[in-house]
């Protein structure tokens, strides 16, 4: 799988990524965006915001869950094309969900308000991240497939 670069915070030169740059998945289907996105987010306001923006970008199906158990159940029922995982849920972390997505070869991005201070296990250290709050441009870039994928 290839990855395309995106940034959550703008830099003075839009062609130059900032230190907050992430790597966004380049999906092989050539559609430009995943058709089905799973959002794992415990804050309803943030979840609704992500859902609204994703549907505005043309994502056909957006499912939102607020816990690890709900996320694993949703994945078992229908595997998404892509996922946004809030690292810190109310009483748990989303790493079990990340493990399942890796096992299924489903691309995902960690979403965190803790930036570099987010405690990510070593096996996920290279996984792309979006910093909350995240711009629509950065969110859309995380979904966008580059031509010639």
Torsions phi, psi for 92 (to 5 deg): -155, 170
Per DSSP, the residues of 28-46 read TT-SSS-SEEEEE-S-HHH
Residue 89 lies in a domain: yes
Residue 148 lies in a domain: no
Residue 149 lies in a domain: no
How many domains does the structure of the chain reveal? 1
- The CATH number for 36's domain is 3.40.50.2300
Domain that holds residue 53: 2-143
What residues of the chain score a pLDDT lower than 50?
1-29, 145-149
> Residue 116: its pLDDT value, please?
66
Spell 55-71 as b/e; 16+ CB within 10 A means b.
eebebeebbbbbbbebb
> Residue 127: its pLDDT value, please?
87
> Residue 31: its pLDDT value, please?
52
CA dihedral 12, 3, 84, 131 (to 10 degrees): -30
Entry pTM: 0.76
| CA–centroid distance for 19 within its chain | 18
Q: List, for residues 86-102, the tens digit of each pLDDT value.
A: 999 999 999 999 999 99
Residue 76 lies in a domain: yes
């Amino acid at each position: 799988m290839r990855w395309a670069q995106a940034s959550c915070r703008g830099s003075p030169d839009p062609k130059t990524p900032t230190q907050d740059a992430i790597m966004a998945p380049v999906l092989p289907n050539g559609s430009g965006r995943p058709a089905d996105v799973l959002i794992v987010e415990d804050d309803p306001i943030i979840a609704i915001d992500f859902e609204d923006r994703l549907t505005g970008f043309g994502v056909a199906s957006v499912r939102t869950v607020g816990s690890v158990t709900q996320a694993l159940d949703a994945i078992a029922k229908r595997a998404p094309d892509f996922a946004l995982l809030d690292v810190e849920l109310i009483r748990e972390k989303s790493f079990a969900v990340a493990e399942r997505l890796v096992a299924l070869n489903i691309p995902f991005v960690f979403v965190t308000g803790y930036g570099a201070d987010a405690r990510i296990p070593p096996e996920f250290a290279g996984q792309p991240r979006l910093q909350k709050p995240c711009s629509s441009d950065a969110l859309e870039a995380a979904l966008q497939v580059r031509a010639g994928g």
